[in-house]
Amino acid sequence: MSRKMPRMTLPTQLVLGELIADPTRRIHGFELCAATGQPSGTVYPILARLEGLGWLESEWEEPDVHVPAGRPRRRYYRLTEDGAACARMALRAAEASRLKAAARLRTAGARP
């Protein structure tokens, strides 16, 4: 588990926000794109990054689900325990810096 932090871009925050909503839930790529409204070309690099950091783990769908459904197996992503804790922290930090920036803007706007 790496202590490194991913760059908290808005798409990264959206992806983490979706995953943290229910940390035990596993979700596949297209589902995550649909839920966050982010393009697949943005979501997959973020997933790869988070998986590389150990925040996420992924697994193949079980044969008793995809074989009767008549399609290839899906890859499901889920937050690891440490990943969930880190994600919460990172999202809080991102939120705090956003609030701070907004406050600075308000102060700047109040000046004559």
Q: In the complex, which residues of this chain contact other proteins (CB under 8 A)?
A: 2, 4-7, 28-31, 33, 39-45, 48-49, 51-53, 61, 66, 70-75
* Shortest distance, position 18 Cβ to other proteins, whole Å: 16
**70 vs 109 by CB, closer to other proteins:** 70
Task: Name the 3-class secondary structure at 27.
Answer: strand
* Shortest distance, position 88 Cβ to other proteins, whole Å: 18
Query: Are the beta carbons of 53 and 18 closer than 8 angstroms?
Result: no
> Residue 43: what residue type?
V
Task: Give the Cα separation of 11 and 37 in Å (integer).
Answer: 9
Task: Give the Cα separation of 64 and 2 in Å (integer).
Answer: 34
* Shortest distance, position 99 Cβ to other proteins, whole Å: 20
